[in-house]
Amino acid sequence: ETLDATGLAILPGGIDVHVHFRDPGYTHKEDWSSGTIAAAFGGVTTVFDMPNTIPTVATPEILATKHAIAADKAYVDFGLYAVLGEESLDHVEGLVEGGVIGFKLYMGNTFGRIPSPDTGAMLELFERVAPTGMRVSLHAETNTIMERREKRLREAGRNDPLAHLDSRPAVVAVEAVERAATLAEWTGARIHILHISSKEELRPLAEAKARGVDITGETGPHYLMLSTDDYARCKGVIRVNPPVREADCHEPLWNALKDGTIDMIATDHAPHTPEEKTRSVIWNCDCGFPGVETQMPLMLTAVAEGRMDIHTYVRASSEAPAKSFGLYPQKGAILPGADADFAIFDLSEEWVIDDFNLHSLSRISPWHGRKVKGKLKHTLVRGAFVVRDGSLVETMKGHGRSVHTIQRMPPAEPRNTDKTIAAVTAVPASADMP
Ligand code: DOR
Ligand code: ZN
Ligand code: ZN
């Protein structure tokens, strides 16, 4: 097979480390077929799916069932997260053996109401994961302020999201990032901060990096390009957790992405139906919206506008995710991204995002009507066309493979041994005595 790519840009396929494909459990919102088709049309060749499906991915058996469903329907490669919480503490090694791409820890409430471990439990959980070398991705936000404000507004019959959406609730994210980084430093666990939304979170992230903590971070196009100014236009459709912040966060987030404080772009692709996104009381609208299909066009538009260069973008969309989650080429290995995962774009073609032409089942997003520059023409996963000349290759259903079958993350280097030893030896000898 040959392809004439004259005039087109051949990019490494995107690796989106944060999607919710809802299958099994909420297949009216999305499933492995619709989600991976959306990814393929977005130039994303590998996705990492979150564990808040039904049942929550907490045991090797549940993981195996979900793996079978995904392998059956996926058009692109995938990794599966397991939840890290009390319910999975004793399954950590089994889940690693079963091939998880990483663990997800919810420090605050989320869709699916997964319980959040307290700090003591987090310490134990990190200690358990650290020797496996797997990265723990954190929803680093404790939501208490948001929830309290929403509760009061709801009780007062207020339906105005701007009533509480100043940047102050970001303080719970700042505190959560700081706490997670401290626990990672003490245990040697590798961590990843999901959906960095505010300029305030950059300080604890940068400080942890400077101390040598193995910590990475992601932000998404919505935090770089949308703000509280968009509520009037989008209403419940833009409701997402964490929320988009005030527009003065954009510049610092772009700068952090350029200087590497933020390592990567991920979308938090979180589809819900139009009915679930347009309820008359804004607090009752489900949080999140699809993003896996629009990330690359939106970011390539920013590249075209000179916001960042293409090399920095590719680092954030493919290289950093691969390196952070153990998918980067190592001697003698054949790996995703290194085995011909390509997104081939016409960087000069302009088009307008239309929710009805997107492939997510969700069909509703705050990107509707946005002009972008950069149109996907072909997507190859492990050397095979999944999208060709702008059309899906239907026979590629089931082509997607779990990336864990390809490479295992190496164990973490022990970190901060001095501090650990100091902490242990600081316990008076008498403490051990009966
Ligand atoms: O907006 C969100 N949607 N935030 C989350 O943490 C979960 C996600 C979902 O699963 O819908
Ligand atoms: Zn989250
Ligand atoms: Zn999420």
Q: Ligand 2 centroid to 270 CA: how many Å? A: 9
What band does 139 get if pLDDT is binned at 50, 70 and 90?
Answer: very high
Ligand 1 nearest-atom number relative to CA 106: 6
How far, in Å, CA of 267 to CA of 288, rounded? Answer: 10
How far, in Å, CA of 248 to CA of 379, rounded? Answer: 35
Q: Give the pLDDT confidence score for residue 290 in this predicted structure.
A: 98
Pairwise pLDDT comparison (283 vs 295), residue with the higher score? 295
CB within 6 Å of ligand 1 — which residues? Answer: 20, 52, 110-111, 139, 240-241, 270, 287-288
Mutate to test the pocket of ligand 1, among 52, 244, 362 (most ligand atoms within 8 A of CB): 52
What would the pLDDT profile of 35-51 be if each residue is shown by its tens digit?
999 999 999 999 999 99
| Residue that is written with structure tokens 């319980």 in the block | 115
Ligand 1 nearest-atom number relative to CA 272: 11
Query: What are the counts of helices (DSSP H) followed by strands (DSSP E) for the chain?
Result: 15, 13
Residue of minimum CA distance from atom 6 in ligand 1: 110
Which two tokens mark 211?
A: 């101390």
Do 84 and 116 touch, CB atoms closer than 8 A? no
Ligand 1 nearest-atom number relative to CA 22: 10
Q: What is the DSSP letter of 189?
A: -
Mutate to test the pocket of ligand 1, among 22, 109, 110 (most ligand atoms within 8 A of CB): 110
How far, in Å, CA of 62 to CA of 55, rounded? Answer: 7
pTM of the model: 0.92
What would the pLDDT profile of 348-377 be if each residue is shown by its tens digit?
999 999 999 999 999 999 999 999 999 999
Residue of minimum CA distance from atom 10 in ligand 1: 111
Provide Rg for the chain, Cα atoms. Answer: 21
Strands 102-106, 77-83: pairing is parallel
Q: Ligand 2 centroid to 179 CA: how many Å? A: 16
Q: Give the pLDDT confidence score for residue 142 in this predicted structure.
A: 84
| Average pLDDT taken over every residue of the chain | 90
Do 121 and 142 touch, CB atoms closer than 8 A? no
Q: Give the pLDDT confidence score for residue 429 in this predicted structure.
A: 39
